[in-house]
Amino acid sequence: MDGVAGNRSILSWIVNLSVLALVIIWLLPTVGLFVSSFRSADQISSSGWWRALGTSTQNVIERAATPDKQVQQGDVYVIEGKLIDGAEVQSWGISSRAINDFKPGDVAELRKGGTVTIDAAGNYRMENAVPFEGKRGQRLFLTATVPPELSLENYAFMLLDESNSEGMAKAFFNTLTVTVPATIIPILIAAFAAYALAWMDFPGRALLIAAVVGLLVVPLQLALIPLLKLHLGIGIGKGYMGVWLAHTGFGLPLAIYLLRNYMVGLPRDIIENARVDGATDFQIFTKIILPLSFPALASFAIFQFLWTWNDLLVAKVFLIDSTGQTTVMTNQIVELLGTRGGNWEILATAAFVSIAVPLGVFFAMQKYLVRGLLAGSVK
């Protein structure tokens, strides 16, 4: 019988499977980004990330050694060497219009005279009865099966290479400089405001609560230009102070609303007993309310941290710096898209570096998320 204790209904199974499907759909892009960040550009362009642990077929363009490296062996002049390591050549060619004309071991006639052959291991040998001429080596086109290769070269290039002017290390610390204060400041202000709106009686309290709820639906884009003019007028529009205050102002309505709903649901008897014992409002707030409100504080901290870390618009408007000293990671990735549109391995690495910290914060504090979101929903 459906719905009895110990048995799951069909609807329950449908809900569980739907949630599992949504989790997989949201997780797959992150997994793909993570795997791609360890692959080379050739591997990314030749096969999907799900084939990272298998062999892939790649088209490779290589040049033979220059004619000045030729040696005379008997009556012929020879240029030989190795084109590719750790791969098995499937086919090759000497023209971009016919890159698969020959199989390993075949001999091809060169247009300028002489012959060339390539074996399955990527070794080539060019022969000619007269000396080879020219300043550049012969172009050779290979189709080869390449074994899987995962490395940390992309991360080393992005984070540790001092010669890399597009590295993410500076942007990473700039983002931390913006995010940490922009998360702590609104929490401190909102906690005091929420306590006042929840437990202190004063004229106009209901109007303030209504104003806070109304501000939740105001899009931040409406306030960007007036706020920027104000910041420029008082001299904080081109640095961290301006962006801290902007994030604080945009995050306060939700913070106050969320914390106030949670604090209203706390037991009244505890607060009244503390007042009978002579505790001041500040003592009640710091020693009773704040410890009991930690789930709501952590819940808002997750949201504010994620919004601030992933923000591009506010950083673009309030961090006006042509030197790049205050560039955040989201802006850095946008610049990489412009200058490195084909270097997918660099973009994948940069993107995963930018989401690694928010993922860590979310998983470390996610147990408080539901408790904070349901604050005040039931009595």
pTM of structure: 0.69
Q: How many residues does the chain have?
A: 379
Q: Tell me the residue range of the domain where 42 lies.
A: 10-52
Q: Which of 100, 116, 146 is the last residue of a domain?
A: 146
Q: Mean pLDDT for each 10-residue chunk of the chain (379 residues)?
A: 59 90 88 86 79 81 89 90 86 87 91 89 91 88 85 79 63 88 92 89 87 84 84 81 89 89 86 86 87 85 88 84 73 70 74 82 73 51
* Whether 342 and 267 share a structural domain: yes
* Whether 347 and 307 share a structural domain: yes
* Whether 83 and 206 share a structural domain: no
Give the model's pLDDT for residue 147: 82
* Whether 165 and 206 share a structural domain: yes
List, as one string, the DSSP characters of 32-96. HHHHHTTS-HHHHHHS-GGGTTS-EEEEEEEEPPPGGG-EEETTEEEEEEES-SS-EEEEEESBT
The rounded distance, in Å, linking the Cα atoms of 152 and 146 is 18
The rounded distance, in Å, linking the Cα atoms of 118 and 122 is 6
* Whether 169 and 288 share a structural domain: yes
Q: Which of 146, 176, 199 is the last residue of a domain?
A: 146
135: three-class secondary structure by DSSP = coil
